[in-house]
Each structure stands twice: as structure tokens, then as C-alpha cells.
Amino acid sequence: MASSYHPRLLHGDVSPSPSSEELLQWKSGITADPYRSYLYSYPHKTAYRDLEPPLPLNELWRDEPAESFFLYMHIPFCGARCGFCNLFTLPDKRADVHARYVDALERQARQWAPFTAHKPYARFAIGGGTPTLLAPDQLRRLFYIATDIMGLATDKVSISVETSPETLTVEKLEILKDANVDRVSMGIQSFVASESAAIYRPQDPDVVYRALELLGRYDFPILNLDLIYGLPGQTVETWLYSLNQTLSYNPGEIFIYPLYTREHTIVKPGDLERQEDIRLQCYNAARELLERHGYRQYSMRRFAKETAESHKPLLDYSCQEEGMVGLGCGARSYTRGVHYASRYGVSRKATESIIADYVAAERYDTADYGIVLEPEEQKRRFILKAILHSEGLKLSQYTERFGTLLWSDFPELALLTDSGFGLVEDDVLRLTGEALGYSDSIGDWFISSSIRERMERFVLP
């Protein structure tokens, strides 16, 4: 039988219980603005700065304690920039630009391979951008770089590739199949043409249907489809229409994203002021529909069938995403103590110049831009990565890793249980399904003041 407790009962000395008024105030702070900041990773990339002096990568990776690594390749090119996108990508379809980029990626891989060769890879992902925008020979080359240069064993590693409806062809799918790819992820965002057009992603639904039909023929172990809610002109009904269209293809996994806009994205926050914010309604409607169709909720954004998994015997890889080896411009790399990447930009001018520097470089053997994680930040990252997923945070694992008690280190976390947003059961702190919908505001609340300060001082080039 599951055993549950309230942290204040076990550790009555950690902090006085808040009054019901304080609790109400805290909770309404979380629920009033659920979409204030998407904490894709902690610390956020806008907290990165020049590392002075640059850190030699051979030393950084030699001391990395993760048992296995995650290899990620970033392809920072798309056909056009979507109206909501703040990822590191450049709208550029020129094959010669892509070829020079892959040349640089191969140079980088040759220099990095010896640094990480002492541990096996458990996961491999190619993301972007739109990796399948590359011509077939360049796409094939990415797998050659992964296997022949980085030493990836494709029969033991789960392999995921991002794609888009208009770039999928039989030839490219054959390449993915030959490369033993387990998971193909496709961004659809909406099945309603006017909604796609409103986010500067003109998309003919017929092209989407054709791509889905093609993907169905190749039967990858995991098909993931991405959708966005809160689009201009969208209603809860049209959102459910897109979800139902998605469900008719029976994907193993569905990611649902609330629409985020910023001053530097093409669609600005002001553009949406006149329409009602239906994101929370859409989220709740999606949860209900997806659960009814046999999908389990793993996080605010990820829903999957329990059967959606690689068919290979995989090595364990920590969900804390340490030991992430990020090749390519815009890719982030995570060791336990240092996160690093190339510089970040969104505007055409900035991304173009950052990619040009990457392509012109001869040496890739130091980390010169990123952040050194103090022990407190390592703890915060560990906590956030766990509690914003349905599996939750195993308290004994926290103590094993850091040698301290969660409730003593962060007594404020008891607010989660005080408020009913979380519960502790069988040594695990986890959020309720309702609270997972507030992951972004809970994540934002838990950012340390020093990281927040760095993020606020960041100026986009």
C-alpha cells in the first residue's frame, strides 16, 4: 500500500506553516499567469555568458560522472521562420550552405570524439531547425558522423529525428529506416490552414496528410506529432479538431505546446491581446481527450502510449539530461558542472553571423560560452527535471546524490504539498495532474535569484 505524508509533519523544524492567506496568495501567483516563461532547460540559455578563460573540453568530459551519454546534433536551418519560434535556426534552403555546415559539423565531431569515447551513447537525436531540409546525401552523412566518427552503436541506441511535413520524401525516409531510427517527430501545430497561416507557417493540410500517410508506411517504433494551442483564431473546438485528426493516425506520442510569443518573435504578444486566452481550457480539454484514448501524461507537454518505445535493448540514461554531447551550432552540451553552447540569437543577422563563425572555425576544443553550475544550481536543476515530470522526485535519490535533505535545502517546496499541488507518496514528491498544467509558472517560481538576474540582464544580439 502506498504511504503518504506531509513534509512538515516529518520535518517540523524546516519552516513555520504559512497562513491560509499566504498560501492562497502563493497559489494565485502560480495560477494567475501559467505561461509566463517556458523553462525548457535549467538554467535557461539566456543565463549563459562568455566563459573566461575558456574550458578545455577534454578535461570537462574526462571528469563527467554520467554512466552513458546523449549525442545531439543541431541542424539550424528551416524553410521559413514560424511566427512563434525563438529557437536557434536560420531560414535558408541553399544546399551549398547546408553542405558547408555539415563539413564543419564533421570537423567538430573528429575533434570531440576522443573526449567522449570512454563512455557509451544511450541516446541520439537530430533536431533543429529542420534536419530533413538537408539533401539526402547530407542527411546520410549525419549518420556516418554519428557512427563512424563518434562511435555510436545504432543497435543499442534510441535514435530520434525531427522532421516537417513538406520536407519528407521516400528517399529521406529510406535513409532514416536504414539508419535504424526509432522515433520520428513531426511538427504539425494545427490541421486548420488559417491557423497555420496566422503563425506564418502556411501549410496545406493535404501536404500534412500525405506526409502522415508516408510515415505510416514506414512504421517507425515511435511516431511523435507536435501540436500548438492558443493560436490566433483558434477555438477550443478547432483545437479538438486538430487533436482528433492527430489521433486518427494513432501516433505513439503527442506533444502539446501552449503558444508562446515574445517581443523578438514574429507574432508579438500584442498581436494576441484582442483574443481571449484559451490555453488553459485547451490544455484541460486535451488531457481529458488523450487520457480517454489511452495516452498517459508524462509532463505538461508530453502524452504517450505505454507501448511507444524503442525495440532495441537500450542502455540506461538519466532523465536529468547530463552527459549531453551537443554537436553543431546552437546545440547545448550539458556536463554535471558546466553547460555550454555557441552564442544564442534569433534575428536573421545574429544567427547568420553565429553560424558563419562556426563554419569558419578550425578548432572546437574549448567551451567558451555557457555557465558553471554551482552546487545549489545543480540541485535546483535536479529537482525541476524530476518534479515537472509525472514520475516525480525520489527523495532518497536526492539525498544519495547531494548528501543533504530536500526539505532542509529548499523548505519552500513544502508549499507544493501545503497547496495540494503536490504530494509525497512512497518516497516520491510529485505534482498532481492539475499542477502539471502550471509547470511553467512553478518552474519560473523555483528559479534562483542569481539565475533570474543573469536572465534579466541578457541582451539578444
Contact by Cβ (8 Å): 226, 189: yes
Q: Which is nearer to ligand SF4, 128 or 422 (CB)?
A: 128
Which window, 3-11, 54-62, 76-84, 136-144, contacts ligand SF4 (CB under 6 A)? 76-84
Binding mask 187-226 for ligand SF4 (x = CB under 6 A): x---------------------------------------
DSSP helix/strand/coil, 421: coil
The candidate with the shortest Cα–Cα distance to 48, out of 265, 386, 326, is: 326
Number of residues that bind ligand SF4 (CB under 6 A): 11
Question: Site for ligand SF4 (CB under 6 A): which residue of 14, 47, 66, 78?
Answer: 78
What does the block give as the cell for 221? Answer: 517504433
Distance of alpha carbon 221 from the chain centroid: 20
Report the alpha-carbon distance of residue 295 to residue 108 in Å, rounded. Answer: 40
Minimum separation from the CB atom of position 165 to ligand SF4 (A): 10
C-alpha cell at 33: 499567469
CA pair distance 436, 440, nearest whole angstrom: 9
CB of 101 to ligand SF4, least distance (A): 15
Q: Return the SS3 of 456.
A: helix
Stretch touching ligand SF4 by CB under 6 A, among 109-117, 127-135, 170-178, 228-236: 127-135
* Secondary structure class of 39 (helix, strand, coil): coil
82 near ligand SF4, judged by CB under 6 A: yes
DSSP symbols for 127-178: EES-GGGS-HHHHHHHHHIIIIIT---TTTSEEEEEE-GGG--HHHHHHHHH
Q: Is the peptide bond before 43 cis (omega within 30 degrees of 0)?
A: yes
Q: Does 333 bind ligand SF4 (CB under 6 A)?
A: no
Site for ligand SF4 (CB under 6 A): which residue of 154, 164, 238, 297?
164
Q: Which stretch binds ligand SF4 (CB under 6 A): 31-39, 128-136, 390-398, 403-411?
A: 128-136
Cα-Cα-Cα-Cα torsion 262, 266, 270, 276, nearest 10 degrees, comes to: -90
What's the closest the beta carbon of residue 414 comes to ligand SF4, in angstroms?
Answer: 38
| Shortest Å distance, C-beta 199 to ligand SF4 | 9
Least distance (Å) between residue 35 CB and ligand SF4: 17
Judged on CB neighbours under 10 Å (0-12, 13-18, 19+), 111 is middle
Instruction: Note whether 320 binds ligand SF4 by CB under 6 A.
Output: no
User: Is residue 150 involved in binding ligand SF4 (CB under 6 A)?
Assistant: no
427 torsion bin: left (phi>0), alpha (psi -120 to 50), beta (else):
left
- For ligand SF4, the binding residue among 44, 74, 81, 343 (CB under 6 A) is 81
Minimum distance of ligand SF4 from residue 78's CB (angstroms):
3
SS3 content of the chain, % helix, strand, coil (to 5): 40, 20, 40
> Judged by CB under 6 A, which stretch of 74-82, 136-144, 174-182, 259-267 contacts ligand SF4?
74-82
Q: Mark residues 87-126: x for contact with ligand SF4 by CB under 6 A, - for none.
A: x-x-------------------------------------
Give the shortest CB-84-to-ligand SF4 separation in angstroms: 7
- State yes or no: residue 142 binds ligand SF4 (CB under 6 A): no
From 7, 34, 43, 129, residue interacting with ligand SF4 (rule: CB under 6 A): 129
Between CA 376 and CA 71 the distance in angstroms is 26
In whole angstroms, the minimum distance from the beta carbon of 79 to ligand SF4 comes to: 8
Binding mask 272-301 for ligand SF4 (x = CB under 6 A): ------------------------------
C-alpha span between 339 and 328 (Å, rounded):
15
Identify which of 380, 365, 351 has the alpha carbon closest to the alpha carbon of residue 77: 351
Q: Which of 60, 75, 85, 176 binds ligand SF4 (CB under 6 A)?
A: 85
Complex with ligand SF4: residue 83 or 252, whichever CB lies closer = 83
Nearest to ligand SF4 of 243, 346 (CB atom): 346
Sorted by sequence, the CB contacts under 8 Å of residue 82 that are 6+ apart come out as: 189, 199, 200, 201, 266
C-alpha to C-alpha distance for 416 and 404, rounded to whole angstroms: 20
Q: Is 128 in the site for ligand SF4 (CB under 6 A)?
A: yes
> What is the distance between the alpha carbons of residues 441 and 38, in angstroms, rounded to a whole number?
8
Q: Is residue 130 involved in binding ligand SF4 (CB under 6 A)?
A: yes
Q: Considering only residues 385 through 444, tell me which ones interact with ligand SF4, judged by CB under 6 A.
A: none
- Give the residues lining the site for ligand SF4 (CB under 6 A): 78, 81-82, 85, 87, 89, 128-130, 164, 187
